[in-house]
Amino acid sequence: MVKQSIFGRIAQLAKANINAILDQAEDPGMMLDQMVRDYTNSIAEAESAIAQTIGNLRLLEQDYAEDVRNAADWGNKALAASRKADELRAGGNTADADKFDNLAKVALGRQLSAEREARTEGPNIQSQTAVVDQLKSGLDAMRGKLAQLSSKRDELIARSKTVDAQRQVQDAVKSIDLLDPTSELSRFEDKIRREEAKVLGQQELAASSLDAQFEALEASDEQIELDARLAALKAGSPAPRSITE
């Protein structure tokens, strides 16, 4: 019953359509991980069961071979006893000849028993051999499915990482678009132009202030000269000469 259950499970798993299962799964990655675990566990159980089945088959084969050997040995013993009986009977020793004939019959009976056991074991060996071959074939198919599952899982993981990387790039691009770096540069440029204009204004202001100081100085010199001439007039002295004269 256990063997039949394991055989049925091996056949079911070996025939499983992985792509169809994944198409129906909400989370293919999680489904693949679970399937890999299930297949790995089932393969381990199948290997143990198949090993036991093979062991039982080998025991049957050993018993069959032993029965065949026993049948041959008892046949040889029966032949030897029969020949001895013939020799004794030819020599006139009928009593001993009958004893050896009886031994030959006993040996022949043992031979028949061994042959019956061998004939009984033959079909069992054939059926067990067929079961073992099927189990081995199913196990190989399961191992192939497991390799396919592992490869599919690795492929999906790699594709998932690629999608994540692409999504990050797209998010970064969207973020850049929202920030509009050209507008930031324009604002920065406007700020620099305003600073430059301020410096120009300060320079111009400084220049106009310096001109005013020179004009004030010239006005002061003129006032001094006017005061000197006025004082000279009052004193009756001739007016002092202009600085430019």
At residue 49, does pLDDT exceed 80?
yes
Nearest to 49 by CA among 14, 1, 15: 1
Whether pTM > 0.75 for this model: the answer is no
Asked if 135 and 9 count as a contact pair (C-beta separation under 8 A), the reply is: no
Query: How many CA atoms, within 13 angstroms, populate the side-chain half-sphere of residue 77?
Result: 17
Burial class (CB within 10 angstroms; exposed 0-12, middle 13-18, buried 19+) of 185:
exposed
Q: Looking at residue 243, what is its pLDDT?
A: 47
Helix segments in the chain, DSSP class H: 2-14, 18-24, 28-90, 94-179, 181-235
Token pair for residue 58? 């080998």
Asked if 29 and 160 count as a contact pair (C-beta separation under 8 A), the reply is: yes
Residue 74 identity: W
* 118 CB-near residues (< 8 Å, 6+ apart): 64, 67, 68, 71
Q: How far is CA 130 from CA 4, 43, 122, 233, in A?
A: 13, 19, 13, 152
Q: Looking at residue 1, what is its pLDDT?
A: 42
pLDDT mean over 150-176: 74
* Average pLDDT in the chain: 78
CA 5, CA 61: separation in Å to the nearest integer? 24
Asked if 67 and 115 count as a contact pair (C-beta separation under 8 A), the reply is: yes
Q: Looking at residue 138, what is its pLDDT?
A: 82
